[in-house]
Structure 1
């Protein structure tokens, strides 16, 4: 099935504007209103709930242990950034000069956060019921799940790299958090996976687990295994 996605229609356009406003813009334009981080916090909670709900209904015979990693993959930074790209949110962001110069419109973490903020804003705009947000995000989630039904995301990058490391060197890889940036509620972690004193891959994510997963995927790509 082909899907086409647009931004939801807002009754209060100022909520959408806030969702598209990065902290860096507010720092340079202090009279412009609020940035989007509080909306991001709300949108994260809404998306986690709705992704869990759709998985619960779609796969009635799957146990919790099978649904949990699916939910994680459905709302991880990379997937939410893909949704943001579908909606062309990068072109609509209000960014400060520094963030603009650093490529913020194409930054995966920033795009993911902006998508969460848009969902948080839409929840407030259509509240107090969640039905409108559910109707909007379900096709987005379904477009991903339809692909997974054909080609499930079964590759566990960390397990695959561990198997290779044990078979090749007889050692377990070590994951090290080498950097963290951003405010407390929206940090971005940088992880590195090492083996025998050498670095095999690096990754970034809003959670340490996501950064480590990206590092493992990077290592597998570097080895030609992914």
Structure 2
């Protein structure tokens, strides 16, 4: 594992992987900076805008951290500071580094930042983008997936659970398949390493609800409960 480097300036604290971003600057967390470099290749919209970037031959994703729920309406992107390791961006960066070292299929973290305002902070993270990959929702809106793909998803989820990896938002948008058929998990905000427990079944239940929700939202969504059974059988067999 490459030890991350720390940069502090003007209320900002950043960490970065010197192998992935040897010329790192805190400007990397500014969408305006990347627009000036003509480096923005796309964007996606959720609670905020996630930016897709190309820097030389590297493809990255820049994401700001936002609050959800009722609190998010009043305090959209500020969090209580209880220590650097506990901040949303530094915790996700650290977790991703561990998962990469453990050879689990996740994107590599490039850099993380917090900007402190007294006892509050804002946060951003920069990660590698999985090349030529689409999430399950994109795939299923276009075509059904073969049994083997559902079995592979089940095996990958079992692999993460055996390693004690808790994903706080396991939904159909956070499972990707690349052009080679490899399955990836993304978005490990509020993720953690945990002892085995009921959370594993709850993780799967959350994914099932997500697939059911997407199926109801889209007139053409090529998913059925048989697909879920293929996933479950492979998950249980792997464990």
Give the TM interval when normalised to the shorter protein.
Answer: under 0.3
TM-score, normalised relative to structure 2: 0.24
TM-score, normalised relative to structure 1: 0.25
| Structure with the higher helix share, 1 or 2 | 1
